[in-house]
Structure 1
Amino acid sequence: MGVSTAVPEPGIARVTVDVPPVNALPVRVWYELAEAVTAAGADQRVRCVVLDAAGRGFNAGVDIKELRRDPGHTALLGANRGCAAAFVAVHSCQVPVVAAVHGHCLGGGVGLAGTADAIVASQDAYFGLPELDRGALGAATHLARLVPQQLMRTLYYTSRSVTAEELFRHGSVWAVVPRAELAAAALALAREIAAKDGTLLRLAKEAINGIDPVDVRRGYRYEQGFTFEAQLSGVASRVRGTFGGPVERP
């Protein structure tokens, strides 16, 4: 259980998250993920990273049970910083990152996919921020990289989700394929990217990050301040106490 790294073929690193049953990540694993992606990008033999997950879905966000077990704020602060570290690691990875998304991609999953350079998704994939239903805020910064502004706001306020096919029509998902073909499709795109010169790819990644219209680091950390305010006011715990169901599409 946790994060593993493999090299499916020369020039490509595959970072896989596996935290049963739904890939809701505890604080420790957010940091493990950040370290794995950073290390893969720092390896001069790697020219592209594929980020995927095992199990029922790509990512269900923060482990709510871990937050509930903590009578103070240590777990929340850890989750805030761990998520920020993982998102920054994907965005700042020295080489392009392809997210291979299946099933649910919720909360922190949107943060990961929204900072990736490209997304390949299976037909059963869906993306959403159910934060308001779980006593939290955050990752609107990343959802705004996937959908237009008004749609982002509507999805955020309603906690509704959007399918991979819908994101494909918006241009934020590169390809939508049957679940059984997801790994191969993500690897094929990574292979095409990895065929380029490694030095030029690293320069291109840094250059493109430099022209981002929104500073994703600052934007997400700003959002997190309101998450902590909700916790201190008591509203976060009150709302979080009503959450306990399975990960399902609204």
Structure 2
Amino acid sequence: MEFLSLKVEEGVAIATIQRPPANALSRGLILEVDEMLSAVENDDEIRVIVLNGEGRFFSAGADIKEFTEISSGEEFTKLALGGQKVFERLETFSKPVIAAIHGAALGGGLELAMACHIRYVSEDAKLGLPELQLGLIPGFAGTQRLPRYVGVAKAAEMLFTSEPISGKEAVQVGLATRAFNVEELLPKTLEIAKKIAQKSPVTLKATIEMLQFGKHQAYFEGVKAEAESFGTVFESEDAKEGIQAFLEKRKATFTGK
């Protein structure tokens, strides 16, 4: 794989995103996450997966340059549906998946992390969904998963303001489970992952299946509606302005069209 490396320690597969400088979430990277799941699914030696990022960030967001290569809202909706399918597979995967987040998990990067079963963070990490700042909305089920973790009001604040929260606050509001010093993040995550790896694979799989019972049909309807809205919003003038402003490193001027 080009963007993911994989190594195994004591029953734990460590999957590291390697797409410098920001580990941006490209279509290629999403496909490799899917490939990684296929690679470890039937490997009995692997009991737990730890997902982390190389360099300064976990993943600082989607690859905005790729958006300029998309010409229609319909194609944008297909992009969202494809990402949602992989992330849903991640969330329902038969083996526990833990995200170790340092630096930043923004936009699609946070959506990827929210699909993991557990999130551990560095205290100074930044977590957020800044899509509205670009004239867009989240497209990989971010509008549906975030309220499940932090509540509707906090999710609304994070989405409306586009402002990230710290790793410490992420623990306080329920988006992450534990916060560590950045130097301790991966070692502590691996320590916990190795403890989990000692459990019976049968019971881990059954527990993951039971955790999914909290999802109702309305959730899946919401995810589909998000993808459709993702495509509709993409065709607006504000979306084009937001994307261009991001690439030009300037403040966007939205007109409501």
TM-score relative to the length of structure 1: 0.89
Whether the aligned pair in 2 keeps the contact of 1:34 and 1:86 (CA below 8 Å) is yes
Q: Which runs of 5+ in 1 are unaligned?
A: none
Name the SS of the counterpart of 1:243 in structure 2: helix
Q: In the alignment, which residue of structure 1 is the partner of 2:235? A: 232
Q: In the alignment, which residue of structure 2 is the partner of 1:62? A: 62
Q: Which amino acid aligns with 1:146?
A: Y
Q: C-alpha root-mean-square deviation of aligned residues, in Å?
A: 2.2
* Structure-to-structure mapping, 1:198-237, within 5 angstroms: 198-212=201-215, 217-237=220-240
Whether the aligned pair in 1 keeps the contact of 2:81 and 2:227 (CA below 8 Å) is no
Q: Identical aligned pairs, as a percentage?
A: 29
Whether the aligned pair in 2 keeps the contact of 1:42 and 1:94 (CA below 8 Å) is no
TM-superposition CA deviations, 1:180-218 (whole Å, max 9, x none): 111101101111211111111111111111233576554
Q: Which moved more, 1:230-239 or 1:47-56?
A: 230-239
Name the SS of the counterpart of 2:196 in structure 1: helix
Q: Residues of 1 paired with 2:79 and 2:61: CA distance?
A: 10
Whether the aligned pair in 1 keeps the contact of 2:33 and 2:86 (CA below 8 Å) is yes
Q: Aligned in 2, Cα 1:215/1:185: closer, same or farther, shift over 3 Å?
A: farther
Q: Residues of 1 paired with 2:208 and 2:158: CA distance?
A: 29
Name the SS of the counterpart of 1:59 in structure 2: coil
Name the SS of the counterpart of 2:68 in structure 1: helix
Q: Aligned in 2, Cα 1:209/1:42: closer, same or farther, shift over 3 Å?
A: farther
TM-fit CA distance, 1:169? 1.6
Q: Residues of 2 paired with 1:29 and 1:74: CA distance?
A: 21
Q: Which amino acid aligns with 1:119?
A: R
Name the SS of the counterpart of 2:50 in structure 1: strand
Q: Residues of 2 paired with 1:6 and 1:48: CA distance?
A: 12
TM-superposition CA deviations, 1:156-179 (whole Å, max 9, x none): 011111111012122332221111
Q: Which runs of 5+ in 2 are unaligned?
A: 251-257
Q: Residues of 2 paired with 1:163 and 1:57: CA distance?
A: 14
Matched, 1:178 2:147: no
Name the SS of the counterpart of 1:241 in structure 2: helix
* Structure-to-structure mapping, 1:38-57, within 5 angstroms: 38-57=38-57
Q: Which amino acid aligns with 2:224?
A: R
